[in-house]
Amino acid sequence: KQEVTQIPAALSVPEGENLVLNCSFTDSAIYNLQWFRQDPGKGLTSLLLIQSSQREQTSGRLNASLDKSSGRSTLYIAASQPGDSATYLCAVRQNQFYFGTGTSLTVIP
């Protein structure tokens, strides 16, 4: 069964810092990988989707990469802001989605 791991579980950084969130998965036979953001008490908001044939996707200050052969993805956030504080989850798609447990990010003003 697919297992998805996100490290670290929590991260605290000062405003303006660039940061990287990590996601690893055990089975490389995936259709795609999706990064989500979840604010406290809210639903999941899709940030980026990377198809299995792609290496990276960019949206604004966010850049996600995918190395399927090694079972890794990273989410790079440039020039972090307090509004980026949230939990970030990655999910890999086979027939269903398998989610990691998330990284809780706090950006300190």
Nearest distance from residue 3's CB to other proteins, in Å? 13
State both tokens at 60. Answer: 């604004």
Nearest distance from residue 104's CB to other proteins, in Å? 12
Upper half-sphere CA count for residue 48 (Cβ side, 13 Å): 22
CB 23 within 8 A of CB 36: no
Between 34 and 85, CB nearer to other proteins:
34
**Distance of alpha carbon 65 from alpha carbon 27, whole angstroms:** 17
Nearest distance from residue 15's CB to other proteins, in Å? 27
Which positions touch other proteins (CB under 8 A)?
A: 31-32, 34, 36, 42-46, 49, 89, 91, 93, 95-97, 99, 101-102
Between 91 and 105, CB nearer to other proteins:
91
CA distances to 6, 40, 41 from 74, in Å: 10, 22, 25
Nearest distance from residue 72's CB to other proteins, in Å? 20
Between 71 and 98, CB nearer to other proteins:
98
**Distance of alpha carbon 77 from alpha carbon 81, whole angstroms:** 9
